[in-house]
Amino acid sequence: MKKTMFLLAILLIALTACETRLVMEQPGVQPTNSISVQGSSEFDVAPDLAKVRFRIETQSLTAQDAQLRNREIGASVKSALMQAGVRENEIETVDYRIEKVQEWDAKFEKMVDKGYRTSNAFVVTTKDLQKVGPLLDVGVQAGANNVESISFELSDSKQKEVKTEALRKATTNAREKADALADGAGVRLGKVTSLSESSYYVAPMARYDVMAMKAEMGGAPSTDVSPQSVRVSAQVSVSYAIG
């Protein structure tokens, strides 16, 4: 009896170890073979927008005086730019700060107060790319003591147009890749089973050494700033059925 029970126990353990699972496919659902590819596009586009970032810095023994002087210079720069054709809504303040100025005094081996600095940065936007150089000169001559950057970009309307073109080219590139894969594998490419945008990027062309650039001009009466192309790129993910 004990021997029989022992044999039954061994048999049950063996059956458990050799368990077989049967997975039933859902009725009416056929497995789909597919090819998945990434399509990309990249090209240069002529900009239709330029932004010049000016900064005005003033320093004084008191915060109030530093702020007052900065306000006066800022008003002068803004007036000069508007006389040069810039509209008020094309001038945007992007940074304003008042901070205490301290320097290390080697004699007394400690930080000493040197007054206060007021800093005001604003961006001038223009669609007339030929006016970038003259506007740069107008701003500096009116009192802006730093030009932080010049960037060439795309307006919202042009960016929408360019994005459509970039995605179309990326999708075409994906199709070419899928055709090559299907041909190499000896299968027939079918319909698109999934399609999605992976990325879209516009890289404005910017220059940050503007004051150095003006110095290189050797005091020329007008700074020549030529528009530079904007790089656009896009990527899509596509899957095709194959048979």
pLDDT tens string, the chain, 243 residues long: the values are 444 444 444 444 343 333 323 233 344 444 468 999 999 999 999 999 999 999 999 999 999 999 999 999 999 999 999 999 999 999 999 999 999 998 888 887 888 888 999 999 999 999 999 999 999 999 999 999 999 999 999 999 999 999 999 999 999 999 999 999 999 999 999 999 999 999 999 998 888 777 655 555 445 556 678 888 999 999 999 999 998
* Element at 152 (helix H, strand E): strand 146-153
pTM reported for the whole predicted model: 0.73
Report which DSSP code applies to 190: E
Question: If we measure between CA atoms, which residue out of 178, 144, 126 comes closest to residue 72?
Answer: 144
CA 11 vs CA 1, 5, 31, 41: distances in Å? 15, 10, 38, 64
Q: Strands, DSSP E only, in 3-90?
A: 34-45, 49-60
pLDDT at 10: 41
Give the separation between CA 181 and CA 171, rounded to whole angstroms.
Answer: 15
Domain boundaries, the chain: 34-44+159-201+236-242, 49-153
Give the separation between CA 235 and CA 115, rounded to whole angstroms.
Answer: 52
Domain topology for 34-44+159-201+236-242: Translation Initiation Factor IF3 (3.30.110)
Q: Is 189 helix (H, G, I), strand (E, B) or coil?
A: strand
The end-to-end CA distance of the chain, in Å, is 62
CATH classification number, 49-153, choose in 3.30.70.2970, 1.10.10.10, 3.40.50.2300, 1.10.730.10:
3.30.70.2970
Give the separation between CA 85 and CA 88, rounded to whole angstroms.
Answer: 10
Give the separation between CA 195 and CA 176, rounded to whole angstroms.
Answer: 15
| Amino acid found at 232 | V
CB 86 within 8 A of CB 100: no
